[in-house]
Amino acid sequence: MAKIAFLFPGQGAQHVGMGKTIAERFPQAKSLYDRAADVLGFDLASLCFEGPAERLDTTAISQPALFVSSLAALEMLRAEQPDVVENCSMAAGLSLGEYTALVFAGVMSFEDGLRVVQARGAAMQQAADANPSGMVSALLLNTEQVAKVRDDASSAGQIWLANFLCPGNTVLSGDNPACARAAELIAEAGGSAKPLVVAGAFHTPLMASACERLESILQDIKIQPGRIPVVSNVDAKVHSDPDELRQILIKQVTQPVLWEECVRQLLASGCDQFFEVGPGKVLKSLMKRIDRKVDCQSVNDS
């Protein structure tokens, strides 16, 4: 029997219209958007279904929007293939998606998870506003080549390796001039640079101001050991102690995302059937670069 793992997407996978068909077809999914409106104080469903994109794409909105829309996709899967959900044995999520994974695992409730995600998004948006910065993907280069790009681009400003996504896809994050210089250096090294549409330099020390707000709200949230293991972005390990989980989630804001290591940890644990649960197909695409033989199915409304 296959060992199933769920993967939950992160910021950047959002798009206008996400979740609309699912909410129309599945009352249990629609109820998540209704409950979210009560927690957030605004009509999240309207922003997800109708936009405008300019507002949906802001960090403060896109994070709770993806969190709820991914869990809505999970409700569709639960209705259509209950055995798959019941037999899921491990999970992971990319950045914001780690919170979705933790809620699925029962580490925190839907409402509490949404409150943390809302605060996280707002705090990261505020930190981004205070530091004009961004992120750029370095495609077709190995990690050593990207590290050299970072070193050379640092003459233009602060810049870090922020996301290790898959072979040939590493994300740099930092001050705007440094990211622009990095894009030039990536091209010179024979790679392809892809600036990301994000508000700032996520997963770097430039997000440090967001940690205090996140720590404050996490202290008020009930966290308990999950019913299945969730692999952490920070160290590609599983954590079950509530206080340890709080510290890991705080570190995640300023530490690199070790996504390739997370997936390899799931594979090493015996997982051989994967489901990307939520908007987009980014994680499925990354999986093909990590291990093309592994079955990974998309669960969304597109």
Active-site residue set: 95, 203
Q: Which residues of 104-138 are buried (b: 16+ CB within 10 A; e: fewer)?
A: bbebbebebbbbbbbbbbbbbbbbbeebebbbbbb
Separation between Cα atoms, residue 75 and residue 84, nearest integer Å: 12
Q: Are 162 and 203 in contact (CB under 8 A)?
A: yes
Separation between Cα atoms, residue 133 and residue 135, nearest integer Å: 7
Coil vs helix vs strand at 169: strand
Residue among 180, 181, 178, 171 nearest 203 (CA): 171
Separation between Cα atoms, residue 107 and residue 105, nearest integer Å: 6
Tokens in use for 157? 């400003």
Instruction: Output DSSP code: residue 226.
Output: -
Is the preceding omega at residue 52 within 30 degrees of 0, hence cis? yes
Separation between Cα atoms, residue 297 and residue 276, nearest integer Å: 6
